[in-house]
Structure formats: structure tokens, C-alpha cells
Amino acid sequence: MDNLTFIREAFSTFYSNNVDRVEIPKSIESREFGFTLFKEGVMVRHKGFMNPEDLKDFIKRNVPSNVYYSAAYYSVPEAKMDEKGWLGSDLFFDIDADHIPTKCDKKHDTWTCKGCGLKGKGKTPEKCPNCGNESFDEKTWPCEACLETARSETIKLIDILMDDLGFSDKEVKCSFSGHRGYHVQVDSEDILNLDSNARKEIVDYVTGTGIDAAFHGLEEVRDGKTSFIIGPSLDDIGWRGRMARGLYEFLLTAVDVDLKRLRLKKRTIERILANRDEILESWKVNGPWNIVEGLGLEGWRKIIHHSIAFQSAKVDTVVTVDVHRLIRLPGTLHGKTGLLKISFPVSRIEDFDPLKEALAFRSEDKVEIYVDEAPAFRLGDEVFGPFEKQKVKLPLSAAIFLLCKNAARVID
């Protein structure tokens, strides 16, 4: 039996027994659906369903490798794109470890040049260093560190959406994507008719793009012949407070090399590091703006600009501004992992365990496969691997995971 046939049979069994786990989106009759199919390897889209049962029957009969639905509502979902009749779109954010720099990618992510076959680890280069080809086979893994990084960004995003933009916990919905990140949806009448430009404004806000401390309370004030600097406080609302908290977070752990990157003078860096405790303590009163000798308005501006990254959320801009975007449907399987896209309340973001709660295949039966190469990975409470060119017997969930990652093959 080949890999695709094995995976498809496992997906078919899952959907036959668990199709009611598929979450039906609001106003299903106005949504476009898309599917990728195993053997054809193509995207089938512009599908529409009038009721949940028709969608579930389609999934059980066709056993897609991935299931998507539109963020948009249409008059005629099955029509060509320019004839659908756009009625509005939910607001989605995609936070994926693929778009966030992590130190662990050099341990587990690999790329192979499709031109010359050169292999490498870590982030895929724009061009092959050997032949200049720009096309690669990439293999990324959802490790614990990557998922924690994505979770941290998701927490910041939820905080901004609720504290700064005023959405309620009933309007903000969170899901594990089934691979390396999280999806956050805002379900509110207030955003339905926003166009791409308006959504880009929201993206700029959550990512802190274009934030300038000079417009958020950092300024030099003159009093007669003397002058002093004032700035934002930790408990200010919006980006004023976020800048202050980001600055505090940066200065809490900054070392010499961090400050040198900001091109501060050597003597200023020495004074910042020597007075770190006093600087941090000063936030209880008026802030650190006038404590460090030689550090003026422009110096603080540089440090704040760098510190914004500590408070901004790293989201995939393209996903949010695309009002026709197809989003993976919650309750369906991810074709790259065999894990479920699973929804959970935003209040659970800190304790949600994606590698445990998104497990779809829970059979204790073991499957023998040949693994070419795979880093150590956890599913549920068990850690598997690392593996390299070896036969292993694994639980169905771990075997499906490696087969979906194209890191192993079924042994007849």
C-alpha cells in the first residue's frame, strides 16, 4: 500500500466516525468551500452547500486532505470570483511559526533545492547558494518551541483586540491550525464590510507598524533655561502603554550587544547597564527619561522603536487583508500532520496543549513504517524519535504524522 492510500484510508475512517466534529460556519449557505484531494493533488473550490448535512456528506464521500471555507459571505458562493456578489468578510489573523524567526528552525527544518539537490537546514534561502535556483522542497516541523512562540504572539494579538480595539471574548475566537500556529477570528457585525485597506490599518496597529514615540507622549519640555524629557507610563492605554511596557521588557534583560545594535554611544550604554535597577525602579514614579546622563530624546526614541517588537503581534498580513481568503475549517484534519484544526475559548490560550488536544487518531494499534529522517517530536504524552533510516512501530497518530510530513513510508 502506498503512503497516500494509507493516509486517505485513515482520514476516511476518521470522518466516517467523527464527521460531527466538523464545525459548521455561520451562514453556511453564503460561504464558498474549497478542498484539496489526495491523489489529484489539486484544489477544488467554488463549492457551496445549503445545509450542514450536505457538507458532511461531501467530506465523507470525497475524503479531502484539507478542507477550507471562505472568510467572506457571498450571494452566489459557487459562481466565478467576480460574479459571487461579496456581502462582507469575517476578520481573520494567521499566526504561524513559519513567519516568526525561531532559533530551533536550524535543528528541525530542512530544504532541498529542486535544481541541484543541495540540502540545508533552517530558514529556506531565497536563492540556492549553489545553483541560484529559487524553487525548493521544504520540510518544517511543529516543535514545542515553535508552538510556544506562536502562542506568545497569539496572546499579544488577543490582548490588543480586546483591550485596545474593544472586541469581547464572545467576538474573538481562537483555533489551533493543526500544524504550526493559531488562527484568530473576529466575528462582529462591526468589521463585516471593511475593505482590504481598512483591514491593513488594523494589521498595522497590531504589528505596531509606523508607531513613532514622538506621537505617543515622548517629548522634551522646556521650563525656563532647563529642559527635561517626559514619556509614556506603563499603565497608559493603547500603544502609549505598550511602548512603555516593551521598553521595560527590553531593558530588563538587555546586554551590551543589544544596545550596540541601536548605535548608542559606548558611554551611554555603560550608564544604562550600570543603572539598570534604578531605571526599572523609576517606572513607579515618572519613568526613566531623565536618569541616564547623555541619553536624550533621540536615544530614547531609538530604544522605544526597537522595543515595540516586544509588544506587537507577528501576524501574516496577507491573510488578514484578503477579503476573499479561504481558511481551514475547524474540526477537519490537516493534510501535513493528521492533526485537527480545533477551536477553543480565548481564555484557554495559555493552557491549551495543541499536541495533545488536536490528536485525531487515538488507536493504540501500532503501524510499522520506514522513517528516512525525523527530529524528536511529541504527540499526546509520548515523545518519539529522532529517527534516521530505520524501521519503527509507532501508534497510528505518530505514523500518520510522519507519513503526512513525507518523512516515512508504509511497509507492506
C-alpha pair distances (Å), 348 with each of 133, 155, 191, 353: 44, 10, 24, 9
Residue 251, pLDDT score:
95
The helices-and-strands tally (H runs, E runs) of the chain is 13, 20
Q: For the ranges 61-65, 266-270, 348-352, 361-365, which has the lowest average pLDDT?
A: 361-365
- Which pLDDT band, with edges at 50, 70 and 90, does 1 fall under? confident
Asked whether 111 and 139 are in contact (CB, 8 A), the reply is yes
Q: For the ranges 68-72, 220-224, 383-387, which has the lowest average pLDDT?
A: 220-224
Model-level pTM? 0.93
d(CA 12, CA 88): 34
pLDDT at 179 > cutoff 90: yes
> Cα–Cα–Cα angle for 63, 64, 65, nearest 5°?
120
Residue 121, pLDDT score:
86
Asked if omega into 386 is within 30° of 0 (cis), the reply is yes
Asked whether 128 and 118 are in contact (CB, 8 A), the reply is yes
Closest by CA position to 396, among listed 353, 359, 358? 359
pLDDT in tens, 265-276: 999 999 999 999
Asked whether 100 and 157 are in contact (CB, 8 A), the reply is no
pLDDT at 253 > cutoff 80: yes
Closest by CA position to 71, among listed 57, 60, 87? 87
Residue 296, pLDDT score:
94
d(CA 177, CA 374): 21
Q: For the ranges 152-161, 347-356, 403-412, which has the lowest average pLDDT?
A: 403-412
Phi and psi torsions of 201, nearest 5°: -65, -40
Asked whether 292 and 271 are in contact (CB, 8 A), the reply is yes
Q: For the ranges 115-119, 167-171, 192-196, which has the lowest average pLDDT?
A: 115-119
pLDDT at 145 > cutoff 80: yes
Residue 393, SS3 per DSSP: strand
